[in-house]
Structure 1
Amino acid sequence: MQPAIATEALAASARRAGAVVRTGVEVIGPLLDADGALRGVRTSAGDIAADDVLIAAGPWSGEMARTLGVELPVLPRRGVVLVTTRMPHRIRHKVYDGDYVGAVGSGDGALQTSGVVESTPSGTVLIGSSRERVGFDASLRVAVLEELAAKAVRLFPFLVEANAMRSYGGFRPYLPDHLPVVGPDPRLPGLWHASGHEGAGIGLSVATADLIVAQMTGEATPLDVRPFSVARASLGLLMPGVALPTDAAGARA
């Protein structure tokens, strides 16, 4: 999946459904009613009233939440990918090395790399992956790309003959318990969250939207959303007077 193309397609679909997409507009604060509930946002282009406000800002969701007055420990987790020139189609499946699962589930902020190799329909090969928490530092380190290339060659020795064409990077929205937050925020009525999916966000975007819509409209959700509550104990957020969600067995999530 090409995230940029997918994003444009989703935005176009939203416009067809009546949504207004505003770019280059900064949210600068909340609009609150007399009871302290969120009823919209103040922006650099004026106030926008809304019964519900959803934060779905990826790695910037933590900053956005603080702008609206609540804490959400979403942090950027940087990763880079190396792309080869086109080559004969010899890699037919996405392949990971044994370190990948551990790196994804690690809470370590230092650099971690693991071999991930995947071919594309155009004939290029994508080589990853790296993870590190360095804020929003977007600088490129050649040493990291060299490490990824070496791990890819160990998986597929013929890649030693491949030529690198480009690299790209981004910031995954990281939460310390490695689960997203999808649902309402009991600390600020009217506020909703959909963030913290790390690298799976673009693939889970439509399913996440279904969960949010079902909760907003009072419909039954297709799965138990309690593990994704912002009030879950594993996030460690202060929730005075708020009962922590429990799973189906009665244990605190």
Structure 2
Amino acid sequence: MGHRRYVKSHDLIIVGAGIVGAACADYASAEGLRVAIVEPGPIGGGATAAAMGHLVAMDDDPAELALAHYSLGLWEAFVDLPQAEYSRCGTLWVASNQADYARIPDKLARLAAAGVQAEQVDAEQLYRLEPALAAGLAGGMRVPGESVVYPPGVAQYLIGQAMARGAQLYRQRAHQLNSGGVRLTDNTQLSGNVLIATGCALPQLLPQLPMRSRKGHLVITDRHPGLVHHQLLELGYADSAHGSDDSSVAFNVQPRPTGQILIGSSREYGSETADISMTMVRRMLARTLQFLPGLSELDAIRIWTGFRPVSVDGLPYLGRAPQHANVWVAAGHEGLGVTTSLGSARVVIDQLLGHVTAIDPRPYDPMRVAA
């Protein structure tokens, strides 16, 4: 068993230093809480390091859109932060056919109702905006205010901000929740409220909250500035993102400030290893080349994988954990964790502090699973 060392208590112990945990640490410390951060690995090294970094409002679920729009406003504070590599390239949703193009007015209405500015573009405008797109596309929808960031850089900055306010970083793994707080693998006992932001690993500490891991692949090319100007997604992207198929691919490409091009997007259930599947990569690239045939001329310089944490219904768990008086949770963001990290942190921390939240927290309440 070994000797248990009791350390001084904290107001809040945050388990996990991906971008969601980092945002929680930053906001909690800014609100005056004495914060502990528990993270054995690199800051922003898990799902955060395998994220495309898009700041994008998805309009498929009202609660998801509300959280994304709230968060996008908070992201404005990071425009000039060097570590963020913030690029306001805008998002261009591409309609491959007339059926997709016909969906755009409804999407525009949902976005407008949430306060997101977007515009429909016809085929002629589409090719003026992105000349490298394949011929024969029907048009698209442009969201000019959306952006791309470098998530690990932001996570490291947020943790640095918290530590500058006195937050303590414990380079251990959280072994067990208990009535006073959490015990670490070296038997250090941290006492205080606990906020678990460990993504796919959530069930290790909170088995009552189901979480599935959804693997994704990313490919980055060598430098080719000016080939692509916007983040590009196919209008059917959300069908892939929210689908239940064991595996799917969708067109998603973004220009990086370095001149490189980052290519997604694959989703895969049932693969538990981080190994690269060239079968999935080929599927993903084939989908990409249907929209951007010119990318076949570029060299891929790196391929890597990561795992998105998927909650039981696709919305994150944000709030008090079932069956625990002093445990809170912020996890299960699937592919929108970067976009919604800042808003998620505020929704949880404001509830913990007894403040009125800026948006209705009920759709994200973890108790919905317990019920």
- Give the TM interval when normalised to the shorter protein: 0.7 to 0.9
Equivalent of 1:86 in 194, 208, 223: 223
Q: Secondary structure at the match of 1:21?
A: strand
Q: Secondary structure at the match of 1:132?
A: strand
Residue deviations 1:61-86 (CA, integer Å, cap 9, x gap): 122213xxxx1111211101111111
Equivalent of 1:113 in 217, 238, 249: 249
- Partner Cα distance (1:207, 1:177) in 2: 19
* Equivalent position of 1:182 in the other structure: 318
Check conservation: 2:247, 2:268, Cα contact below 8 A. Answer: yes
* Equivalent position of 2:345 in the other structure: 209
- Partner Cα distance (2:191, 2:359) in 1: 27
* Equivalent position of 2:155 in the other structure: 7
CA drift at 1:56: 0.4
- Partner Cα distance (2:344, 2:263) in 1: 27
Residue deviations 1:179-225 (CA, integer Å, cap 9, x gap): 00100124211110100111211232222111122111111100000
- Larger relative contact order (C-alpha < 8 A, sep ≥ 6)? 2
CA drift at 1:150: 1.4
Q: Secondary structure at the match of 2:169?
A: coil
Q: Which moved more, 1:183-192 or 1:223-232?
A: 183-192
Equivalent of 1:100 in 227, 234, 237: 237
In the superposition, relative to structure 1, how do residues 230 and 17 fare at CA in structure 2: closer, same or farther (>3 Å)?
Answer: same
* Equivalent position of 1:43 in the other structure: 184
- Give 1:62-73 correspondences, 5 Å limit: 62-66=203-207, 71-73=208-210
Give RMSD over aligned pairs: 1.5
* Equivalent position of 2:174 in the other structure: 27
1:18 aligns with 2:166: yes
* Equivalent position of 1:251 in the other structure: none
Q: Which has the higher helix share?
A: 2
> Among the aligned pairs, what percent are the same residue?
29
- The residue type equivalent to 1:28 in the other structure is H
- The residue type equivalent to 1:123 in the other structure is G
* Equivalent position of 1:245 in the other structure: none
- Partner Cα distance (1:226, 1:89) in 2: 44
- The residue type equivalent to 2:261 in the other structure is V
Q: Which moved more, 1:127-136 or 1:6-15?
A: 127-136
- The residue type equivalent to 2:270 in the other structure is V
Check conservation: 1:62, 1:75, Cα contact below 8 A. Answer: no
* Equivalent position of 2:213 in the other structure: 76
Check conservation: 1:107, 1:176, Cα contact below 8 A. Answer: no
Q: Secondary structure at the match of 2:168?
A: coil
* Equivalent position of 2:197 in the other structure: 56
- Partner Cα distance (1:126, 1:149) in 2: 11
Check conservation: 1:40, 1:47, Cα contact below 8 A. Answer: no
Q: Please report the TM-score for the alignment, with normalisation by the length of structure 1.
A: 0.83
- Partner Cα distance (1:46, 1:107) in 2: 40
CA drift at 1:87: 0.7
1:222 aligns with 2:369: no
CA drift at 1:176: 2.7
- Partner Cα distance (2:259, 2:241) in 1: 27
1:156 aligns with 2:292: yes
- The residue type equivalent to 1:93 in the other structure is H
- Partner Cα distance (1:12, 1:43) in 2: 22
Check conservation: 2:314, 2:332, Cα contact below 8 A. Answer: yes
- The residue type equivalent to 2:305 in the other structure is G
CA drift at 1:29: 1.7
- Partner Cα distance (1:186, 1:64) in 2: 12
In the superposition, relative to structure 1, how do residues 63 and 135 fare at CA in structure 2: closer, same or farther (>3 Å)?
Answer: farther
